[in-house]
Amino acid sequence: MAVPTISTPSTPRFSPVAKVSMGFVAVAVACFVFADISITTLDPWSEMKRMAWGAVTPDFSVVTGLGMVVVRTIAFALSGVALGALGGFLLSQVFHLGPVRWACASVRAIHELFWALIFLQMLGLSPLTGVLAIAIPYAGICAKVYAETLEEAELPALRVLPKGTGMVSAFFFARLPEVWVHLKTYTAYRFECGLRSATVLGFVGLPTLGFHLETAFSEGNYSEAAALLIIFYVLIASLRFWMRPKLVGFYVLGAPFLLGGGAAIDMANITRFLTVDIVPAPLRRGEFLDGQTWSNLGDWTWTLLMDQALPGMIATLLLTQIALVATGILALVLFPLISRKFFGPVGRSVGHGFLVVMRSTPEFILAYIFLQLWGPSMLPAIVALSIHNGAIIGHLVGRFSDEVRLRPDSPRGLNLYGFEIVPRVYGQFLAFLFYRWEVIMRETAILGILGIATLGFFIDSALADIRLDRAMFLIAVTAVFNMGIDILSRRIRSRLRLSTQAGRA
């Protein structure tokens, strides 16, 4: 048996992968100089102590009807994901069409919280607001993943079908069953994401766990907040016990009836939103054929771009780049916790538990908590983003590292980490990281709602002023910006020949 050699770059001095990594680190360091990073609270420790005390004294009694809140959260996730998966599945069948691909890319470039804010304008606090806010972006994501899965599947049965077999029959017999397991696994993962999304939607007023979490945190009732978070973790951790394949049908059927009542939907509101509210103010007020109207529109657009979109984009980019590198570093530090190469079963299960809690907590909620602790600056956002995403990537890299084969006399400890494992998992790690890039940016934008001056801040301000035209314009800018990052990330991945497949988890 050949002894595996350690793959270290020899000539040229730095491999393309190393150069790209160093480039990203350099950019992040430069961003750090310009970023607003500080702890503004005078005494963060006392608040932290109160939070820690809350965490060990959870109080489940405070929220009345807690059971119903949990049921609603699940119902929103189920309805949204079911509708999104169904829509995504149908779209995946026509995904080869350019316009469909673009439409999917643009709906998934807009975060579900922004979707919720849009639908709140049209539908108000109707359950449909929450369901659509999840379903629409998820349909865009599912369409892409389903289409790729279908495309890459090996389909031996397709060649033996009798002549004259219809397309529909061929699809359901020879194509779908081959990818069914993949689709099922991915959709189950989406459901977990859906639970997070449904929870976060509570922060803008939907009757899910997040609604009460926001109240509890903002009022400093940390025991109550701890109770709600514990319920959330239990919900995620126990997924595989109650989310049985045989029961999915009943759940999906029941979910629409458990969303709770809400305001009736009025078509007039929807029409008004689409035909009046989001039309830029100069167009709405001026004569269509008047030259003045168009010059006003020019001014309107220019002012919005320079005063809000541009600063928002700069802040979003700064924060994204710092958070991306911080995520990467954290992931490299965390992955040994669950790797067989480094820890025994006891250590690993502790590591697993730790990573599950870290990655299950939505970034939005983490950022919210750190903001309470440290006051508004980019610091809470960076920490929140890197904890959540670092734990996700750490988990994936850790699992991947288990597959590395070592020679019997391989080194141990830090040497093993530095010379044997990291060089081998690094490519995969970068693939995961670049795949999260777009996700991190989407989250960064949304954290603006909490007061950090990213694009979301300006969108939230426009909404607070009931200037929906500006809000929609800024949301569109955010979407385009996000799609740009997506394209860039794909370019880098293909240039470095990093497997895009694996990054999808």
Partner 1 sequence: MPSIRTLALCSAVSLLAWAAPAPIALADPFVFTAIPDEDESRLRQRFDKLADYFTKKLGVETKYIPVKSYAAAITAFRNNQVQLAWFGGLSGVRARNLVPGSLAIAQGYEDQAFVTYFIAHASTGLKLSAAFPKDMAGKTFTFGSKGSTSGRLIPEYHIRRNFKTAPGKVFKKVGFSGNHSKTIALVQSGAYQVGAVNFKVWQNQMKAGKIDPAKVSVIWKTPPYPDYQWTIRGDVGKRWKAGFIQRVRDVLLAMKDPDLLNSFPRKSFVPASNIDYRPIWDVAKQIKLID
Partner 2 sequence: MLRGISLTVSAGERVALVGESGAGKSTLLSVLQSRYDGNTALIPQDLGLVRNLSVFHNVYMGSLHRHSAAYNLMNLVWPRPAEVARIRPIVERLGLADKLFERVGRLSGGQQQRTAICRALLQGGDAVLGDEPVSATDNHQSRIILDALSETFETVILAMHDVDLALEFSTRIIGIKGGGIALDAPAGDLSRADLDFLFRD
Binding at 170: pick from partner 2, partner 1, none (beta carbon under 5-8 Å per type): partner 2
Sequence letter at residue 366: L
Binding at 264: pick from partner 1, partner 2, none (beta carbon under 5-8 Å per type): partner 1
Judged by CB under 8 A, the residue of 94, 306, 466, 488 near partner 1 is 466
* Angle subtended at Cα 262 by Cα 257 and Cα 263, rounded to the nearest 5 degrees: 135
Check residue 164 for interaction with partner 2 (CB under 8 A).
yes
In sequence order, what DSSP letters do the residues of 159-174 get, joined into one string?
GTSPTT--HHHHIIII
Residue that has been written with the tokens 């090996």 in this structure: 154
Check residue 157 for interaction with partner 2 (CB under 8 A).
yes
Check residue 243 for interaction with partner 2 (CB under 8 A).
no
Check residue 3 for interaction with partner 2 (CB under 8 A).
no
Q: Considering only CA atoms, which of 348, 326, 324 is closest in space to residue 337?
A: 348
Judged by CB under 8 A, the residue of 165, 218, 275, 501 near partner 2 is 165
Using the rule CB under 8 A, give the single segment among 66-74, 260-268, 347-355, 392-400 that binds partner 1: 260-268
Using the rule CB under 8 A, give the single segment among 7-15, 148-156, 175-183, 482-490 that binds partner 1: 175-183
Contact characters 172-211, partner 2, x per CB under 8 A: xxx--xx-xx------------------------------
Check residue 203 for interaction with partner 1 (CB under 8 A).
yes
Check residue 461 for interaction with partner 1 (CB under 8 A).
yes
Judged by CB under 8 A, the residue of 17, 174, 248, 283 near partner 1 is 248
Check residue 166 for interaction with partner 2 (CB under 8 A).
yes
Sequence letter at residue 53: W
Contact characters 36-75, partner 1, x per CB under 8 A: ----xxxx---x----------------------------
Binding at 219: pick from partner 2, partner 1, none (beta carbon under 5-8 Å per type): partner 1
> Do the beta carbons of residue 117 and residue 466 sit within 8 Å?
no
Judged by CB under 8 A, the residue of 30, 253, 306, 488 near partner 1 is 253
CA distances from 461 to 298, 359, 453 (A): 21, 29, 11
Per-residue burial over 409-427, b if 16 or more Cβ lie within 10 Å, else e, is: ebeeeeebbeebbbebbbb
Give the relative orientation of helices 176-201 and 66-92 as an angle to the nearest 10 degrees.
Answer: 140
Cβ-based nearer residue to partner 1, 19 or 467: 467
Residue 475 has φ and ψ, to the nearest 5°, of -65, -40
Contacts of 426-429 with CB under 8 Å at 24 or more apart are 426/17, 427/17, 427/496, 427/498, 427/499, 428/396, 428/397, 428/400, 428/498, 428/499, 428/502, 429/328, 429/331, 429/332, 429/335, 429/393, 429/397
> Do the beta carbons of residue 158 and residue 174 sit within 8 Å?
yes
Q: Considering only CA atoms, which of 205, 212, 154 is closest in space to residue 179?
A: 154
Using the rule CB under 8 A, give the single segment among 142-150, 255-263, 333-341, 346-354 that binds partner 1: 255-263
Check residue 158 for interaction with partner 1 (CB under 8 A).
no
Three-state SS annotation for 396-439 = HHHHHHCCCCCCCCCCCHHHHHHHHHHHHHHHHHHHHHHHHHHH
Give the binding site for partner 2 (CB under 8 A): 156-166, 168-170, 172-174, 177-178, 180-181
Provide the binding-site residues for partner 1, judged by CB under 8 A. 40-43, 47, 82-83, 86, 120-121, 124-128, 176-177, 180, 184, 203-205, 211, 214-215, 218-220, 245-246, 248-249, 252-253, 256-257, 261, 263-266, 269, 281, 375-376, 451, 460-461, 463-467
